[in-house]
C-alpha cells in the first residue's frame, strides 16, 4: 500500500469536509458577458463561513466588493486580511481558502468563450482537487 502525502491545502480540505456543517455549494451568481469575452462570478458569503474554492486553470482577477475576510492560498503560511474594496490576481493552479469576518460579496473575473454558458465556463476554468476526486471515488480512506 502506498502512503498518501497531502499538501497543506489538501489537509485543510479533508478537515473542512469532515465538519457536520460542510456544504458543496453556496450562494453563487454567474454572469457571462458575451460581447466582452469576460465572465463574472459573484459569491455572497455570510460572516463566519469558510470557503474553499476550486483550483483555477487560468489567471483570474478577484474582487472583494464588500465586507472583509481572511484569505490564503496555503494554510501553512500566514493568512491575509482584506477589506473591500480590494482587487488581486491569482494564477493557474491557484486555490483560495477564505474565512468571512463579515458578510461579503466576492467576485472572480475570468475569460469566456463566445456563446459559452456559465456552467461551461466554470467547468473549463476550474478543476476539482485531488481530495474531491478521491472522495467521489471513495478512495480517500483506503
pLDDT tens, 59-77? Answer: 889 999 999 999 987 767 7
Residue 142 lies inside a defined structural domain of this protein? no
Q: Which residues contact 102 (CB under 8 A, 6 or more apart)?
A: 47, 67, 68, 69
Per the prediction, the chain carries an average pLDDT of 80
* Band of pLDDT at residue 1, cut at 50, 70 and 90: very low
* Band of pLDDT at residue 56, cut at 50, 70 and 90: confident
Domain encompassing residue 41: 8-136
By CB atoms closer than 10 A (0-12, 13-18, 19+), residue 3 is exposed
Contact between 113 and 65 (Cβ < 8 Å):
no
Q: Pick the more confident residue, 29 or 106.
A: 106
pLDDT over 90 percentage in the chain: 18
Which of 14-18, 48-52, 65-69, 120-124 shows the highest mean pLDDT? 65-69
Count of domains forming the chain: 1
Residue 2 lies inside a defined structural domain of this protein? no
**pLDDT over 70 at 7, yes or no:** yes
CATH number at residue 38: 2.60.120.10
pLDDT at 24 (0 to 100): 63
**Cell digits for 90?**
491569482
* Band of pLDDT at residue 125, cut at 50, 70 and 90: confident
Residue 47 lies inside a defined structural domain of this protein? yes
Residue 1 lies inside a defined structural domain of this protein? no
pLDDT at 105 (0 to 100): 92
Amino acid at each position: 500500500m502506498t502512503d498518501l502525502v497531502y499538501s497543506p491545502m489538501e489537509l485543510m480540505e479533508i478537515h473542512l469536509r469532515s465538519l457536520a456543517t460542510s456544504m458543496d455549494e453556496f450562494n453563487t451568481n454567474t454572469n457571462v458577458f458575451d460581447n466582452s469575452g469576460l465572465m463574472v462570478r459573484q459569491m455572497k458569503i455570510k460572516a463566519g463561513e469558510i470557503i474553499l474554492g476550486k483550483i483555477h486553470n487560468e489567471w483570474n482577477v478577484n474582487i472583494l466588493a464588500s465586507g472583509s475576510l481572511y484569505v490564503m492560498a496555503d494554510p501553512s503560511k500566514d493568512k491575509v486580511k482584506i477589506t473591500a474594496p480590494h482587487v488581486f490576481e491569482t494564477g493557474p493552479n491557484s486555490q483560495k481558502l477564505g474565512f468571512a469576518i463579515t458578510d461579503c460579496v466576492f467576485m472572480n473575473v475570468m475569460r469566456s468563450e463566445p456563446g459559452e454558458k456559465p456552467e461551461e465556463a466554470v467547468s473549463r476554468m476550474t478543476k476539482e482537487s485531488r481530495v474531491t476526486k478521491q472522495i467521489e471515488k471513495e478512495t480517500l480512506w483506503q
